[in-house]
Amino acid sequence: MGAASRGIAVLRYDKRTNACDVDRSDVTVNDVTTDDAVTALKRLRSQEGVAADSVFVVGHSLGGVLAPRIATRDERLAGVLMLAPGPTRPIAETVLDQRRHLIEQQNLSESEREEALANARERAEKIRSLDIDDDEVVLGLGGREYFQSLAEYDGPEAAAELEIPRFVGQGDRDYQVTPDGDFPIWRETLSDQSNVRLELYEGLNHLFQDGTGPSTGAEYFNADAVFDQRVVEDITTFVERHS
C-alpha cells in the first residue's frame, strides 16, 4: 500500500477461508477473521525492528468492522483503521440491498428481474431468521453460526468503547458497504470523539478504486484500477501521527 516506503512495516496474510480447506458451515466470524488477526499481531511484534508499542490494525470490509473486536482482544494496539467497514446494518438488509443494486445494473426483463429479486429476498430471509441447515453454507460465506455471530456483534458500538485512535474510510461509490446506509452510522456513533477521523472518498468503490457511475463487481478485476493514492496517504499519515 505504499507504507513500507515510509518506514512502516506491514504484515499481510491470506484469510483462512482463502488459504485453507475450511468447513464454512461450522465457522464464526472469530474463526475466519478475529482469531487469526490476534495471532498475526503477536507474530508481528516478535519481529526484529518492529516497534511493539506502535502496532495498528488496518481492516477492510468484514475485517474493518471486526477491527474493534480485534483491538479488544489484543489490548495493545496503538490504533485501528477501518476501511469500508461492514456489515454495519443487519446482514440480511445489507445482502438484499447489494443484490438489488446488482440486479438494477443488469439488462433483465421484468419477469427475470422479479425472479432475481424473489431469490434475493428468500436468501435474505434465511439469513435474518437463521433458518439454515446444519451443513448449509449461504452465499459462500458461512452457515448458521457465522450469521448468528455477525448478528450478535455491533461494530460501531464496539469502536465507540475504544480509547485508541480510530480511522474510518468509505468510498462514495461503494454498493457493498454504502455511504448512505452504513457510513452515517459510523459518523453518528463516533463523530463526537476527538481521536476519530472519518473520511468519505469521492469516486471510490468498495476496493477503493476510482471510477464513475454505478459500481459493479466486474470493475474489481480491472488491472488498471488500483488502490487509490489518497487512501494510502491518509493511512500512512494516520499511523505516523499516532505512533
Q: What is the CATH number of the domain that holds 207?
A: 3.40.50.1820
Q: Which is catalytic among the residues 174, 182, 228, 234?
A: 174
Positions of E strands within 64-215? 79-83, 166-171, 196-201
Residue 120 lies inside a defined structural domain of this protein: no
Q: What is the pLDDT tens value at each position of the chain, 243 positions in all?
A: 578 888 899 999 989 998 898 999 999 999 999 999 999 999 999 999 899 999 999 999 999 999 999 999 999 999 999 999 999 999 999 999 999 999 999 999 999 999 999 999 999 999 999 999 999 999 999 999 999 999 999 999 999 999 999 999 999 999 999 999 999 999 999 999 999 999 999 999 999 999 999 998 889 998 888 899 999 999 999 999 999
Can the peptide bond before residue 87 be classed as cis, meaning omega within 30 degrees of 0?
Answer: yes
Residue 114 lies inside a defined structural domain of this protein: no
pTM: 0.94
Residue 113 lies inside a defined structural domain of this protein: no
Q: What is the domain count for the chain?
A: 1
Residue 125 lies inside a defined structural domain of this protein: no
d(CA 43, CA 46): 5
Active-site residue, 206 included: yes
Q: At what angle do helices 91-104 and 110-129 cross, to 10 degrees?
A: 170
Residue 131 lies inside a defined structural domain of this protein: no
Give residue 181's domain range.
4-90+142-242
Residue 130 lies inside a defined structural domain of this protein: no
- Amino acid making up residue 54: S
Active-site residue, 61 included: yes
Q: Which is catalytic among the residues 182, 206, 210, 215?
A: 206
d(CA 22, CA 187): 35
Among the listed residues 104, 126, 127, 128, the one whose alpha carbon sits nearest the alpha carbon of residue 116: 104
Residue 126 lies inside a defined structural domain of this protein: no
Residue 234 lies inside a defined structural domain of this protein: yes
Q: Which is catalytic among the residues 31, 36, 61, 210?
A: 61
Judged by phi (left if over 0) then psi (alpha if -120 to 50, else beta), residue 217 lies in alpha
